[in-house]
Chains A and B, each alone.
Chain A
């Protein structure tokens, strides 16, 4: 309490000080008789409010006049160099911040465009071991609807992760459409994408109907009206177009091209060659979404779903079928731990890093202003002192300095908006979104904007102004001022700190990115041409195709594949001797030339051998799968045809690198001929491609030849990392530039203030080197100090980012060393240049200037 009284005593205007403090104390005394604690609380609150009777404010003069603007403009114009530094730094910082804010809003807006989105949930399937899957068994949705009539549920089935074909009724041209989903007829009631043609309740009510996105309709039918026309799905299933839906919004977790009716599941399965049953609780293949009525909360339904599992799910699967509900709006950002198909997700850590980046950039710009304004204040003291002598009050000088800050902030804000408009297209490309400039400029965000601008003005104006006022109050006419350098040192230290951190972050992200794209996957992915063959003649008459391709001078070997190596694999149930229950194990199906084509090392047993007939029922496993066979793999039998394991392959990354290496079984099956991998050689890509395409045309004239190189496809998986590293690199570079501009200006100012001292030192015999040392010493010590503090912090932050990846680089001292040396060199060389110039100056020039 004494402390508060002391503060009040210092701040309040002397005329009314006694009255106010006395009254506050008496009021406290009265209240304290009832409740001491409450009285204390009131006292603090009332004291705070009473601060308004401060020296500057309790006065009858006008604090602000339009003259302020004129004076401020004059001042800004006279010191135009400084003004340019301020405005360019701040507007760059603000522009980066606005872009990052757009990014944040964009990410947060995912799936919120659906009507009443907060009542929609996705059913997540959790096993007793805590593993979460975004996919559920087929019957989940329908049974939820029968058990809880007030809940509506819909299912989305992605055609078993394979690229299906669509063709017009004449079957002349085939389109590979990956983003085709089969959905229940109430789909558009739950995920309310806008229908451009057709009625929500009608479009999918019949089986064998399809709704195309605007883009796909355009691609297949051109400008003709697609409604009522027919399409062949996989050449076997006839679908009628009943509607057109808007193109998938960029902020939707579901990126689609078409929705077809799930009305007749049997024929869909026939068309895709799927032999599994959609009635059992074993196969998890569909995303299930539910819309809850207002009176039912997600917790209540989750609790009821425990009974639901016991009622419906056979006992052997029940422990793996704990159903949870995930809010629709969380799917994009909070699905890190959920195994999914087709969900666009982003880790929340990325958002946090982006926000951190924004704060750092803005802080650097603000600190630049504060540093410069307080450093240059000594030049203004004459003017301000004269003003004071002529009768201006402290308050008037204070508001004038705030006005200056305000003008700088408003100008920067306008400039930054222009910058944002210019940069938005490139930024959209980087983050893979379509943000429009006005999308997030709504009332709410705008008010945040204004609040931020005011806040920035206040901090930017306050410190330099109060610092300068202190000097004015000392009546320092022409005296040399003893500078209060502690605050300034802290601010400079922060800038150095931010620069080192940003450069370090850049180095780590860049290294992780190149690690992901260049690392050894354990198999050969260069020069592998992948030809999708499903539904074509090549999947039936494979031997002929393989033979023809191998005749080409460019092809060294070929292999059939069920999945894209290095990207996905399917989970297949196996019964293993000695294990009580079936095991879901990742599996790819191949043929005899697989090991040779992908150049994988066999570490135990042998490769498939075409001369041994029984090998077509045999399996290979990877090293990680050895954990399933504690009693030795040689004797183990797998359920399918009592298959024998004949060899063990060295672990390779059959899944993308966001996931670790899991146990893998490699088998042979006729049902899974999806890709033909060609190992090609030769220097001219176009020649190779044309040669193979011509062979394809001879054998299969009706189907598109749509081949691609495996390594390119795999690198695309890491596009998000690539863009992220570009964003961080660009932003870091810009903010380091801002920081350096600020530091440079500060050093210039600093040297100017010490010119006379330098001159006298030189007259007294100091050498240029000694003077150079004198000036740079303090900055160098600061820099070293910053590094010591920075090291653990930067390491911690980046570790959290790296933890997103099961396979990632480790921190190395050299990374840090690079960051340190790079920052040191950048800042050091610029500052040294300034200092050396100062040290070389002829003392006569300076001292005579009196």
Chain B
């Protein structure tokens, strides 16, 4: 299984961390829009979530249903240990790079 993390995947993992324990597709999409100033479609979020689940970075559990969902239950997502490790690693790598980077010479 491919364990690397893409841009959108990283974003979604971070969003799940922020919103836990109330992280599900719609709340994630809303938060994404607030931060990125750009909307994302529901199926796109689903795709990323399912992929992260299959990589073992997220776990899911069924939640309550609401009237606007036609009584269908939400599925809440939360980070697994692997997921946290993976995103932490990305962050560490990035900090290292920033620390070593010089100021660019604009021409």
Q: What CA separation (Å) do A735 and B22 show in the bound complex? A: 64
Shortest C-beta distance, A31 to chain B (Å), equals: 9
Given contacts A19-B25, A30-B26, A46-B41, are A25 and B72 in contact (CB under 8 A)?
yes
User: Which residue of chain A is the closest to B60 with respect to CB atoms?
Assistant: A19
B75 close to A (CB within 8 Å):
yes
Q: Counting CB contacts under 8 A, is A349 at the interface?
A: no
Which one of B13-21, B63-71, B79-87, B91-99 contacts A? B63-71
User: Which A residues touch B88, using CB under 8 A?
Assistant: none
State whether A19 touches B72 (Cβ < 8 A). yes
Residue with the greatest number of chain B CB neighbours at <10 A, chosen from A25, A26, A27, A42: A26
Q: How many residues of A contact B (CB 8 A)?
A: 21
- A window 11-26: CB within 8 A of B: 16, 18-26
- Least CB separation from B24: chain A residue: A23
Q: Chain B residues near A19 (CB, 8 Å)?
A: 25, 72-75
Query: Which one, A26, A30, A53, contacts B46 given CB within 8 A?
Result: A53
Do B43 and A22 touch (CB < 8 A)?
no
Complex alpha-carbon distance, A45 and B44, angstroms: 12
Q: In the complex the two chains form, is A26's CB within 8 Å of B41's CB?
A: no
Task: Specify which of A20, A22, A30, A45 lies most central, judged by the most chain B CB atoms within 10 Å of its CB.
Answer: A22
Specify which chain B residues have a CB less than 8 angstroms from the CB of A50 in the assembled complex. Answer: 42-43, 46
Closest to A48 in B: B43
Question: B46, B50, B70, B73: which has the most chain A beta carbons within 10 Å?
Answer: B46
CB-based contact B43/A25 at 8 Å: no
Query: A5 — which chain B residues lie within 8 A by C-beta?
Result: 70
Interface residues of B in 28-85 (CB under 8 A from A): 29-30, 41-43, 45-46, 50, 65-66, 68-70, 72-75
* A49 on interface, CB distance cutoff 8 Å: yes
| B46 contact set on A, CB distance < 8 A | 20, 23, 50, 53
Known: A23-B25, A23-B26, A27-B29. A18 touches B42 (CB 8 A): no
Interface digits, A736-765 against B, CB 8 Å rule (1 contact, 0 not)?
000000000000000000000000000000
Distance of A21 Cα from B74 Cα, bound (Å): 10
- Contact of A202 with B by CB under 8 A: no
Partner of B72, one of A22, A29, A30, A42: A22
CA distance A49 to B45 in the complex (A): 12
The answer to whether A49 and B41 touch across the interface, beta carbons within 8 angstroms, is yes
CB A5 to nearest CB in B, in angstroms, measures 8
Interface centre among A5, A27, A30, A52 (most CB of B within 10 A): A27
| A653 CB, nearest partner CB in chain B, Å | 68
Query: Which of B24, B45, B70, B73 makes the CB contact (< 8 A) with A25?
Result: B70
What separation, in Å, do the CA atoms of A26 and B46 have in the docked complex?
14
What separation, in Å, do the CA atoms of A697 and B16 have in the docked complex? 104
Measured in the bound complex, the distance between the Cα atoms of B50 and A20 in whole Å is 11
Which residues of A have CB within 8 Å of B45?
23
- What are the residues of chain A within 8 A of B66 when measuring CB–CB? 26
A21, B43: Cβ atoms closer than 8 Å: no
Residue of A nearest to B44 (CB): A49
Q: A27-B29, A53-B46 are in contact. Are A22 and B41 (CB under 8 A)?
A: no
List B contacts of A30 (CB < 8 A).
26, 30
The chain B residue with its CB closest to the CB of A31 is B39
B7 to chain A, nearest CB (A): 20
Residues of B within 8 A of A52 (CB): 43
Contact call B42/A27, Cβ cutoff below 8 A = yes
The answer for the CA separation of A92 and B70 in the assembled complex, in Å, is: 54
Q: CA separation between A27 and B45, bound complex, in Å?
A: 12
Which residues of the other chain, A, contact B24 by a CB distance below 8 angstroms? 23
* Contact assessment for A22 and B69 in the assembled complex, using a CB-CB cutoff below 8 Å: yes
Closest to B46 in A: A20
A21→B72 contact, CB < 8 A: yes
- The chain B residue sitting closest to A49, CB to CB, is B43
Q: Chain B nearest CB: distance from A35 CB in Å?
A: 13
Residues of B near A20 (CB, < 8 A) are: 46
Contacting residues, chain B, for A24 (C-beta < 8 A):
42
Tell me the complex Cα distance, A5–B68, Å: 14
Chain A stretch 25-63: residues in CB contact (< 8 A) with chain B = 25-27, 29-30, 42, 45-46, 49-50, 52-53
Q: Give A18 to B65 CA distance when docked, in angstroms.
A: 10
In the complex where A46-B41, A50-B46 touch, is A26 in contact with B75 (Cβ < 8 A)?
no
Shortest A279–chain B CB gap in Å is: 68
Shortest C-beta distance, B12 to chain A (Å), equals 14
Residues of A within 8 A of B41 (CB): 42, 45-46, 49
Residue of A nearest to B27 (CB): A26
Please name the residue on chain A nearest to B75 by beta carbon: A19
Chain A residue numbers with a CB within 8 Å of B65 are: 22
Q: Which residues of A contact B73 (CB under 8 A)?
A: 18-19, 22
The minimal Cβ–Cβ distance linking A23 to chain B, given in whole angstroms, is: 4
CB nearest neighbor in B for A53: B46
Bound CA–CA A813/B69 (angstroms): 64
Q: How far is the CA of A174 from the CA of B69 in the complex (A)?
A: 92
A21 in complex: contacting residue of B26, B29, B50, B70, CB < 8 Å:
B70
CB contacts (< 8 Å) of B25 on chain A: these are 19, 23
The docked-state distance in angstroms from the alpha carbon of A713 to that of B30 is 80
Nearest residue in A to B43 (C-beta to C-beta)? Answer: A49
| CB–CB A27/B26 < 8 A | yes
Min C-beta distance of B60 to chain A, whole Å = 8
What A residues does B70 contact at CB under 8 A? 5, 21-22, 25
Q: A50 to B25: give the CA distance in the assembly, Å.
A: 13
- What's the Cα separation between A26 and B50 when bound, in Å? 19
Query: B72 to A46, Cβ gap below 8 A?
Result: no
Residues of A within 8 A of B29 (CB): 27
Contacts of A16 in B (CB 8 A): 50, 75
Q: Measured between alpha carbons, how far is A20 from B73 in the docked complex, in Å?
A: 10
B69 pairs with A46, CB closer than 8 A = no
Look across to chain B and name the residue whose beta carbon is closest to the beta carbon of A43: B42
Q: Which residue of A lies closest to B49 (CB)?
A: A19
Shortest Cβ distance from residue B35 to the other chain A in the assembled complex, whole angstroms: 17
Give, as a whole number of angstroms, the nearest-CB distance from A786 to chain B: 44
Give the shortest distance, in Å, between A375 (CB) and chain B (any CB).
38
Q: Which residue of B lies closest to A47 (CB)?
A: B43
Least CB distance, A44 to chain B, in whole angstroms:
12
In the complex the two chains form, what is the Cα distance from A24 to B69 in whole Å? 8
Contact B43 A26 (CB under 8 A): no
Query: Hey, which chain A residues are within 8 Å of B30, CB to CB?
Result: 30
State A25–B65 Cα separation when bound (angstroms).
12
A22 touches B74 (CB 8 A): yes
- List the A side residues contacting B68 at CB < 8 Å: 25-26, 29
Contact, CB under 8 Å: A46 / B42: yes
Taken together as a complex, chains A and B put the C-alpha atoms of A16 and B60 apart, in Å, by: 11
Considering the chains assembled together, what is the distance between the CA atoms of A50 and B30 in angstroms? 19
Shortest distance from the beta carbon of A314 to any chain B beta carbon, whole Å: 68
Q: Which residues of A contact B42 (CB under 8 A)?
A: 23-24, 27, 46, 50
Q: How many Å lie between the Cα of A26 and that of B69 in the bound state?
A: 5
- Minimum distance in angstroms from B42 CB to a CB of chain A: 5
Question: In the complex, which residue of chain B has the Cβ closest to the Cβ of A27?
Answer: B42
Report the Cα distance A517→B75, complex, angstroms: 79
Give the nearest-CB partner of B26 in chain A.
Answer: A26
Measured CB to CB, the nearest residue on chain A to B71 is A22
Task: Report the separation of the CA atoms of residues A26 and B24 in the bound assembly, to the nearest whole angstrom.
Answer: 11
User: CB-CB contacts of A796-835 with B at 8 A, as 1s and 0s?
Assistant: 0000000000000000000000000000000000000000
* Residue of A with least CB distance to B29: A27
Which 6 residue pairs are nearest across A and B when measured between Cβ atoms? Answer: A22-B72, A22-B69, A49-B43, A29-B68, A19-B75, A18-B72
List 27 interface pairs A-B (beta carbons < 8 Å), by A numbering: A5-B70, A18-B72, A18-B73, A19-B25, A19-B72, A19-B74, A20-B46, A21-B70, A21-B72, A22-B65, A22-B69, A23-B24, A23-B26, A23-B42, A26-B66, A26-B68, A26-B69, A27-B26, A27-B42, A29-B68, A30-B26, A42-B41, A46-B41, A46-B43, A49-B41, A50-B46, A52-B43
- Residues of chain B touching chain A, judged by Cβ–Cβ distance below 8 Å, are 24-26, 29-30, 41-43, 45-46, 50, 65-66, 68-70, 72-75
Other A-B pairs beyond A16-B75, A25-B70, 15, CB < 8 Å: A18-B72, A18-B73, A18-B75, A20-B46, A22-B69, A22-B72, A22-B74, A23-B45, A23-B46, A26-B66, A45-B41, A46-B42, A50-B42, A50-B43, A52-B43
